[in-house]
Amino acid sequence: MIRFSSAARRTLPLVALFVVFGIFGARPAFAGGVVGAGNPASCTESAFNTALGGGGNVTFNCGPNPIVIVLSAYKQISSNTTIDGGNKITLDALNNNHFQVFSGRTLTLKNLRLTGGLGNSAGSIENFGVLKTNYVTFHKNESLGEGGAISNYGTLNLNHTTFTKNKATNGGGAIWNSGGNAKVKNSRFKGNKATGGGGTGGAIANDAGDVSVNGSDFIKNDANSGGAFWSQFNSTNSIKNSMLRNNAADTGAGITNFGGLQLVLDTIAGNNAVSQGGGIFHGGFLSIDASTIRDNHAATGGGMRHFGNSLFIQKSTFSGNGSTGDGAAVYSTADAEIHNSTFSGNNAGAINGGGGWFQSRNTALFKFVTFAGNVAGYGSGVYADGASPIPSEIQLQNTVVSNNVGGNCDGATITSLGYNISSDSNCGAFTQPGDKKNKNANLGPLANNGGPTLTHLPLFPSPLVNKGLNDAGILTDQRNAPRPVGPKSDIGAVELQ
């Protein structure tokens, strides 16, 4: 007896096919064999079906040149199957799915190209078991629901896999994950779309379950929310060593996050949101570590719009982000804590506030942070909005606010915890021990000074050096270099060695 999860029963219109084989033209597959007799004419769907019924691995002997095999019906994987296309085989589903993987079964695809898939709940593959891919390309597959290429309800392991121009109406232009576990490594997502008015996740949408991404690129993907990546409440997610660039959305052109998300050693660049969150639109739990958020744009929150349960940023740089409204780098309405980070050259324009950080409601805490060269009409370094009935506060310690065009600090409640430096007199709260106003920080340009992100290095002589307060919880700087060097820590994100 075959059993299926409640998620599978709930989401699949094709569930009856698991009980009655062959209905709607589906063909059960039991694996194994060689397709073809050495020439293209011998590599037919019929030969493919025969090989699938042989047990073991499926390989192809179709001659020296690449060929396309057209499939008239999707293949059910009811036994462990490996298909290796030898980098010569394209399977064209001709407006059907390619495969459906049964629970408890494994389908492994290698060196293969899948195109032309079309379905209501997945474009190419619907996975309830284990799906593994290595050097596989999914191109121009489409779902009228979710999962333009893949809908995953089981275990998904992708390596060196490429997704181009796939699309889904509701969510997951390339991949839709619902209750499954998906691991993506060394892969590329380009030009995928969630096309519906409420479409989520131009490349990947995680509705529930776990998604981890490592060493992958997301380029020119598009959705209503989450141009490259979207996560729902109660999902867990991580993106590491990856690039998300030139994606587009109404909100969250790079990422929309409502779940739990870790960003480590990532670059989120050149993304454009019509409304909020050019780089990131965040409403869940988010940590950003050693990452770069640059050259993103939106009406509000060019780099990030934050309204989540928690936000922790460390050793990261927000630079060159822009907004036509408030908050060029970050627009925040929730609590946040930021350590050892740099906000440089972000531009909110001449009539808006918060070139570096705009806080409206709740509290943002900055320790060892550098704000330099940001632009806004007011509070171009940091701005705490007093218009909201919920109080907003910006707290700063060991932080330098330098040469921001439009005044370094402004707003309702800016609190110094000591040892801050401002290049102008606008940071009126800088009256605590170690604070200095109207002091030239003598910072170098934003540059590669070591470490994974760009920073402003203090130049000699600088009033930042050995003028900070030691913090037992912060023993490295933004570059991961030791802190302090000498009797006291340096103010700002960089510790001179």
State residue 53's pLDDT score.
82
State residue 470's pLDDT score.
98
Give residue-wise pLDDT tens across range 381-415.
999 998 878 899 999 999 999 999 999 999 989 99
State residue 454's pLDDT score.
98
Structurally, how many domains does the chain consist of?
A: 1
Please indicate, yes or no, if residue 241 is contained in any of the structural domains: yes
Q: What is the dihedral of CA 34, 36, 40, 42, to 10 degrees?
A: -150
What share of the chain in percent tops pLDDT 90?
Answer: 91
Residue 18 has pLDDT above 80, yes or no: no
Please indicate, yes or no, if residue 143 is contained in any of the structural domains: yes
Please indicate, yes or no, if residue 482 is contained in any of the structural domains: no
Q: If pLDDT is split at 50, 70 and 90, which confidence band does 286 have?
A: very high
Query: Would you say 398 and 468 are in contact if contact means Cβ atoms under 8 Å apart?
Result: yes
3-state secondary structure the chain: CCCCCHHHHHHCCCHHHHCCCCHHHCEEECCCEEECCCCHHHCCHHHHHHHHCCCCEEEECCCCCCEEEECCCCEEECCCEEEEEEEEEEEECCCCCCEEECCCCEEEEEEEEEECCEECCCCCEEECCEEEEEEEEEECCEECCECCCEEECCEEEEEEEEEECCEECCECCCEEEEEEEEEEECCEEECCEECCCCCECCCEEEEEEEEEEECCEEECCECCECCCEEECCCCEEEEECCEEECCEEEECCCEEECCEEEEECCEEECCEEEEECCCEEECCEEEEECCEEECCEECECCCEEECCCEEEEECCEEECCEECCCCCCEEECCCEEEEEEEEECCECCCCCECCCEEECCEEEEEEEEEEECCECCECCCEEECCCCCCCEEEEEECCEEECCECCCEEECCEEECCCCEECCCCCCCCCCCCCECCCCCCEEEEECCCCCCCEEEECCCCCCCCCCCCCCCCCECCCCCECCCCCCCCCCCCCCC
Give residue-wise pLDDT tens across range 150-207.
999 999 999 999 999 999 999 999 999 999 999 999 999 999 999 999 999 999 999 9
Of the candidates 419, 338, 433, the one whose C-alpha atom is nearest the C-alpha of residue 382 is 338
Residue 114 has pLDDT above 90, yes or no: yes
Give residue-wise pLDDT tens across range 409-437.
999 899 999 999 999 999 999 999 999 99
Residue 6 has pLDDT above 70, yes or no: no
Residue 28 has pLDDT above 90, yes or no: no
Residue 142 has pLDDT above 80, yes or no: yes
Parent domain of 194 = 64-422
State residue 386's pLDDT score.
87
Give residue-wise pLDDT tens across range 41-84.
999 999 999 999 865 799 999 999 999 999 999 999 999 999 99
Please indicate, yes or no, if residue 457 is contained in any of the structural domains: no
How much is the mean pLDDT over the chain? Answer: 93
Q: Strands 322-323, 297-298: parallel, antiparallel or unpaired by DSSP?
A: parallel
What share of the chain in percent tops pLDDT 70?
Answer: 93
Phi-psi region of 387 (alpha: psi -120 to 50; beta: other; left: phi over 0): alpha
State residue 372's pLDDT score.
98
Please indicate, yes or no, if residue 432 is contained in any of the structural domains: no
Of the candidates 198, 191, 151, 143, the one whose C-alpha atom is nearest the C-alpha of residue 175 is 151
Residue 67: both structure tokens together: 């060929």
Please indicate, yes or no, if residue 46 is contained in any of the structural domains: no
Please indicate, yes or no, if residue 36 is contained in any of the structural domains: no
State residue 9's pLDDT score.
33
Give residue-wise pLDDT tens across range 307-361.
999 999 999 999 999 999 999 999 999 999 999 999 999 999 999 999 999 999 9
Distance between CA atoms of residues 395 and 89, nearest Å: 59
Please indicate, yes or no, if residue 477 is contained in any of the structural domains: no
